[in-house]
Chains A and B, each alone.
Chain A
């Protein structure tokens, strides 16, 4: 029955495959929006569709906040010891160094923002969840002291699950240590702007992160004392929608402003000019 016999064309397609690299696309974890990677990058890793702020690295915050070519890193040789000989801590530190580099869960340094000298600390959540142990406390304490002595405003970008368990009560005492330096900075009347990013909880939120003269938070950032899981366990019920987000804190009077990443640099500069008695940016132009 040749009527039904259709001549089959060879299956080999002549279409040329477009050379799109596999990593050219990015998907938003929040809304599922898929877009060209470049659009995410240009939006500072904020979803072009829903505005979800994805985590960016400490280096990206430094690039965002500090004038190009002005960054000087401080205290690069401080390392954790293992004072409690806590099981697996040494290995976990090695893993963290491998993953996030040797600079521990905070990077500190100085540079300029719109030409103004500033001290900047940026926490790195990739290093053991941004947990605060002796090194984090010491680096921030030294940075704060330097800021007070040189009268350069301090900016700290926080991202942390809290105090580092593996250094026990010594981690807890870093809350006191940093608070002592922040108190001195206040006495010296040098401005301190605290920027809260996702997440900022525990011993970090209960010390310097909430001690800023001005406290701003990125949209959607979870900020609180106890983590959502612990609270859920304690009260035995689900948490309300949006609980502990930056917007929730704004509504409850706990932060001064929620600032999108794209405006972070300008807002910080504007605040510093107010607090340091400088002319507004327009006049400087």
Chain B
């Protein structure tokens, strides 16, 4: 898929081409190439693993934004079963940038809420590139309360460049919608589990990401501002995004070090898009384990811990 090859994946292209060519020749001439093929494929896998082991922060951003990366709806059909999508905030409209509804995780009913990006232009027009309007966050909150009412865990999947900065979004109270979600999630009387599966774009991510446990897929990122936005503000030059991505500390490893997330979910070599089934399996297993653990904790204790978790975040001194 040359169209979606990231610049740092280019060394893989030549090997991939050789393997393809060999397979084609083998198909035409019925020559057994298995012997020649095996070392090449091994080499390809090693090279891919090597490249992905040493990604720079900006390269991770590229992987997190990869157009082939599995999105919320993909995981809803792989990790979850029995999904019923529920629509609308009951106030203004349905926001397709966030999908939500009942689903089952290992047989248990849960409320899944996630940002949804589009794969092509047409889909992205509908999904607004995964950038929600206030009605998206209000739908999310409405369904969190529905989950609360029936004591079902809430699982949110974060994958957004950010909350949409547009006229309608401001008119309808983008800030208020996010602020309300935060204050209500702080006391929501049911377990909340968040996994960042791609881009964790600032307030638009946190608006569904205040949770008892926050997990990140290995190549996802989570940041207060996009590297491009940060570079534009600090250095008046969006092309300094590499420098900004480095400075902002946005990788899963960074966030674990900063005490903001609880666990990193490993991705298959080459990233989740290289092997969506393996990514889904890893995500599913991890989510199940956390849901099991969270359900065992008494609600009052769970809420207390949720409070303490966020109250302890930050870096300061008091002399």
Q: Which residues of A contact B (CB under 8 A)?
A: 75, 77-81, 83-84, 86-87, 133-135, 137-138, 141, 163-165, 167-177, 179-184, 186-187, 201-203, 205-211, 223-226, 230-231, 234-235, 239-240, 243-244, 252-254
Contacts and interface: CB of A to CB of B under 8 A. Distances in A.
Given A176-B206, A253-B173, 14 more contacts: A78-B317, A80-B315, A81-B316, A134-B314, A168-B250, A169-B223, A169-B249, A176-B310, A177-B313, A187-B187, A203-B202, A207-B178, A225-B203, A226-B165
B133 to A, nearest CB: 11
B295 interface: no
Interface string B289-319: 0000000000000000011001101111111
Contacts of B233: 165
A179 B223 contact: no
B302 to A, nearest CB: 13
B193 interface: no
Residue from A137, A183, A209 with most neighbouring chain B CB atoms (10 Å): A183
Contact of B186 (A134, A137, A180): A180
A186 B225 CA distance: 30
Contact of B187 (A77, A86, A183, A252): A183
Nearest to A171: B224
A83 B223 CA distance: 15
B179 A177 contact: no
Contact of B307 (A165, A173, A180, A202): A180
Give 6 closest A-B pairs by Cβ, nearest first.
Answer: A226-B165, A134-B314, A83-B315, A179-B182, A225-B174, A205-B175
Contacts of B316: 78-81, 134-135, 138
Interface in B167-182: 167, 169-176, 178-180, 182
A223 to B, nearest CB: 8
A239 B167 CA distance: 8
A176 B203 contact: no
B296 to A, nearest CB: 23
A170 B166 contact: no
25 contacts: A80-B316, A81-B315, A81-B316, A134-B313, A134-B315, A137-B314, A163-B225, A164-B224, A169-B248, A173-B313, A174-B314, A175-B182, A176-B182, A176-B210, A180-B186, A186-B183, A201-B175, A207-B182, A211-B183, A225-B165, A225-B174, A225-B203, A226-B170, A231-B167, A243-B167
A254 B176 contact: yes
Interface residues on chain B, size class: 35 or more
B143 to A, nearest CB: 19
Given A173-B260, A179-B179, A210-B179, A87 B167 contact: no
A224 B185 CA distance: 22
A25 B217 CA distance: 60
A83 B257 CA distance: 11
Nearest to A202: B203
Contacts of A182: 183, 186
Given A134-B315, A173-B260, A179-B186, A84 B249 contact: yes
A252 B175 CA distance: 13
A167 B258 CA distance: 10
B43 to A, nearest CB: 37
A165 B232 CA distance: 12
A78 B315 CA distance: 10
Contacts of A170: 258, 260, 313-315
A231 B314 CA distance: 29
Contacts of B166: 231, 234-235
Contacts of A172: 202-203, 206, 223-224
A177 B224 contact: no
B315 A167 contact: yes
B187 A174 contact: no
A95 to B, nearest CB: 14
Contacts of B310: 173, 176-177, 179-180
B72 to A, nearest CB: 21
B1 interface: no
B163 interface: yes
Contacts of A134: 313-316
Given A207-B179, A224-B174, A225-B178, A138 B314 contact: yes
B236 to A, nearest CB: 12
B314 A179 contact: no
A177 B312 CA distance: 8
B247 interface: yes
A170 B225 CA distance: 12
A245 B223 CA distance: 28
A82 to B, nearest CB: 8
